[in-house]
Amino acid sequence: MTAEVHVRIDRVPFRDLKGWRFDTETGDLVHQSGRFFSVVGLNVYTNTGTVSRWTQPIINQPEVGILGILCKDFGGVPHYLMQAKIEPGNVNCVQLSPTVQATRSNYMQVHGGKRPAYLDYFLNAASGQVILDQLQSEQGARFYRKRNRNMIVRTEDDVACGEDFRWLTLPQIKALMRHDNTVNMDARTVFSGLRETGADRSLDGLLSVDEILHRISHLKGKYELTADRIGLRDVADWTVAEDEIVRKDRRFFRVIGVDVTIENREVAHWSQPLVEPMQEGLCVLFAKRFDGVMHYLLQAKVECGNLQRRHRARRVL
C-alpha cells in the first residue's frame, strides 16, 4: 500500500471553513451547495431514560451513502477488497475501510473531484452478485435519520487492485479487528451483516428470531420519541463560539472546524465541520454461554436521530 501520503489536518475557526456558512435565519451550519450535510438543532421528547426532554445539535445528512465491499474468490477462498483510507477524524490517520465508502454527494462528484474507484460494481450490481444489501442507521445520537446502504458484491472480473487496496480473507480481517484502530467502524458494520457458512447453530439461542422481532415491536409501541428539527440558534444550553459549538458544561461532544489536505483522496483539499467527543466512550458487551452457545447481552435503546415511521418521530426502538 502507499508508503507515504501527505496529510495535514488543522483545526480552524468556522469563518475559515471554505464553502461553509451559518444560515442567517436558522443559525444552522450549512454547505454552500446545499448538499453533503449540515449541523442543525433538534428538540427531543421521550418517555424512557433519565432525561425526557432536551435540545442538541445534530448532523443532518439525508442522503443514503454506500458502504460497499467487493468480494472475489481466489483458489476457492472468498477475498474482500479493502482500502487503506485516511479520514480527517481518525486517531491514527489510516484505517482499513470498505472498497467504497461515500455519501451520494461524494459519488455524484458535487465536490468537483474524482469519482470513487470501483463504484459501478455497487451501483450496477445484478441480483445474483449481491451477497449483502441492507439499509442501516448510523449513530442515532449524532446523526439525524442517517442511513447507509451496506453492500457486499461478488465479482468474477479481473479487477485491477489500486495502490491503496488489497484483497484480504475474512479470517485475516477478523484478526486485524483485534488490533486497536486498524479496521474502521464502517467496515465492521458491513461485515456484521455477513452470515457465514455453518452459522445455523448460532441461531439456536435463548430466543428465536421471531421472539426477538416480537420484543422489538412491543418496545416500539411502548416507547415514545418526538424529535423535531429546530434552528441551531434555538438549541438551549449550547454555545456557538468562533471555533466550536459546545455545551455550556462542556459534556458529551462539540462541533469543530477543520481544514484538510489528504493527497490520495478524490479531492485533495477541503474544509468541513467535525464532531469531537468530549471524553472517551465505553462500548461493552457481556458474554455468557448457554448450552454451549455464546450469547451476548444487547440493549434495546432509543436514540433521538433514529429513523422513525412518521415525520413526528414516535414509537421507535
- pLDDT score recorded for residue 233: 97
For residue 202, the model assigns a pLDDT of 58
How confident is the prediction along the chain (317 residues), in pLDDT tens digits per residue?
Answer: 545 788 999 999 999 999 999 999 999 999 999 999 999 999 999 999 899 999 999 999 988 999 999 999 999 999 999 999 999 999 998 999 999 999 888 888 887 888 899 999 999 999 999 999 999 998 899 999 999 999 999 999 999 999 999 999 999 999 999 999 999 999 999 999 998 655 555 567 899 999 999 999 999 899 999 999 999 999 999 999 999 999 999 999 999 999 999 988 888 899 999 999 999 989 999 999 999 999 999 999 899 998 764 433 333 33
pLDDT of residue 197: 59
Residue spans of the domains in the chain: they are 7-60+226-277, 64-203
Instruction: State the cell numbers at 295.
Output: 450469547
The full length of the chain comes to 317
pLDDT of amino acid 198: 53
pLDDT at site 178: 96
Predicted local confidence at residue 312, as pLDDT: 39
CATH number for the domain whose boundaries are 64-203: 3.90.79.40
Helices then strands, each counted (H, E), the chain: 5, 20
Distance between CA atoms of 306 and 197, rounded to whole angstroms? 32
User: CA distances (Å), 262 to each of 119, 126, 166, in order?
Assistant: 20, 34, 20
| Res 3: pLDDT | 56
Find the helix packing angle between 185-192 and 170-177, rounded to 10°.
130
Residue 266, pLDDT score? 85
